[in-house]
């Protein structure tokens, strides 16, 4: 029986969606949004024009993900390295663009029943930006659909440092460091993403073959899909194409094909298994 096409998909999205198994959609998708600068450079435009054009890609991707029933979507919006290494004028533009995006998109998020969250060292962002972020979070807090998480001033290595500091602080407050125990579960409980399942699929745009310090702990068993499409050209149909590629993969989690669970996300939800850190063997 042919799957029902979710309302709101355009013709191209609907064509790709018909090829998907709606019962095997990834529960959590993470996206490394890359290529804004190259998109602008190819058009002889300033870099900020690429960032501005990328907002439409965010809107299309977020709405499509929510329409097809993705439970969690995490977007790598602004890294800690961006904060330190980009020109101040570009950083200031990105902060302003973020504030405008939040103001403009909250009605759309509410319309699509999307709840907004953040990960990263938010306290290091300008106070005016923190205020707008908290406003948008509060404005969508009642929504019960997809969780959209923006990684802002985010670094996976900093996240791990913060997690270990939190573990040590918690031990010091509860009996002293003699009782300190560290295992995978305790680390996961102190990550920024403790409210989320690990991603099943990570998508990187612009053809680059690296994770760029993004969710290094959480992506241990994620499937990786790299597309040459630059982020300002990425749309909901590209997201669905990434999901189609994901559904072709055989996910083994270090075991043999016959032993592997069909859907690791559902296994995580039902068994609350500890996080995996070893690299998946593909051979």
Cα angle value 12/14/18 (rounded, 5°): 120
> DSSP for 179-238?
G----HHHHHHTSTTTTSPPPSEEEE-TT----TTSSTTTTTT-EEEE----GGG--HHH
Is 110 marked active-site? no
- The Cα–Cα gap between 236 and 242 comes to 10
Is 36 marked active-site? no
- The Cα–Cα gap between 131 and 115 comes to 17
Selecting among 36, 82, 113, 200, the annotated active-site residue is: 82
CB within 8 Å of 198: residues ≥ 6 apart: 28, 218, 219, 220, 221, 222, 268, 275
Q: Which two tokens stand for residue 34?
A: 């890359």
Contact 133, 120 (CB under 8 A): no
| Pairing mode of beta strands 201-204, 28-32 | parallel
> DSSP for 24-74?
G--SEEEEE---HHHHHHHTT--HHHHHHHHHHHHHHHHHHHHHHT-SEEE
Selecting among 10, 21, 34, 169, the annotated active-site residue is: 34
Q: Which two tokens stand for residue 59?
A: 């809107």
> DSSP for 110-162?
HHTTPEEEEES-GGGS-HHHHHHHHHHHHHHTT--S-EEEEEEEE-HHHHHHH
> Any idea which residues carry the catalytic annotation?
34, 82
């Amino acid at each position: 029986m042919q799957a029902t096409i979710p309302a709101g998909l355009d013709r191209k999205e609907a064509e790709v969606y018909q090829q998907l198994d709606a019962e095997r959609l990834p529960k959590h998708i993470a996206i490394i949004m890359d290529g804004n600068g190259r998109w602008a450079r190819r058009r002889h435009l300033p870099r900020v024009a690429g960032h501005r054009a990328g907002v439409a890609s965010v809107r299309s991707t977020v709405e499509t993900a929510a329409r097809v029933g993705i439970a969690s979507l995490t977007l790598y919006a602004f890294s800690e390295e961006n904060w330190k290494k980009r020109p101040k004028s570009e950083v200031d533009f990105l902060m302003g663009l973020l504030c405008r995006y939040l103001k403009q998109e909250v009605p759309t998020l509410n319309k699509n029943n999307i709840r907004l969250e953040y990960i990263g060292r938010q306290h290091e962002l300008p106070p005016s930006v923190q205020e707008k972020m908290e406003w948008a979070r509060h404005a969508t807090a009642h929504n019960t659909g997809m969780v959209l998480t923006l990684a802002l001033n985010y670094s996976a290595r900093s996240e791990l440092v913060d997690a270990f500091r939190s573990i040590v602080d918690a031990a010091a407050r509860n009996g002293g460091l003699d009782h300190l125990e560290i295992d995978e579960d305790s680390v996961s409980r102190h990550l920024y993403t403790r409210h989320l399942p690990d991603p099943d699929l990570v998508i990187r745009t612009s053809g680059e073959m690296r994770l760029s310090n993004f969710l290094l702990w959480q992506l241990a068993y994620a499937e990786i899909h790299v597309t040459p499409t630059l982020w300002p050209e990425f749309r909901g149909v590209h997201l669905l194409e990434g999901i189609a590629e994901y559904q072709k993969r055989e996910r083994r989690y270090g075991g043999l094909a016959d032993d592997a669970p069909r859907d690791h996300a559902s296994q995580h939800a039902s068994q609350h298994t500890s996080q995996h850190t070893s690299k998946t063997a593909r051979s």
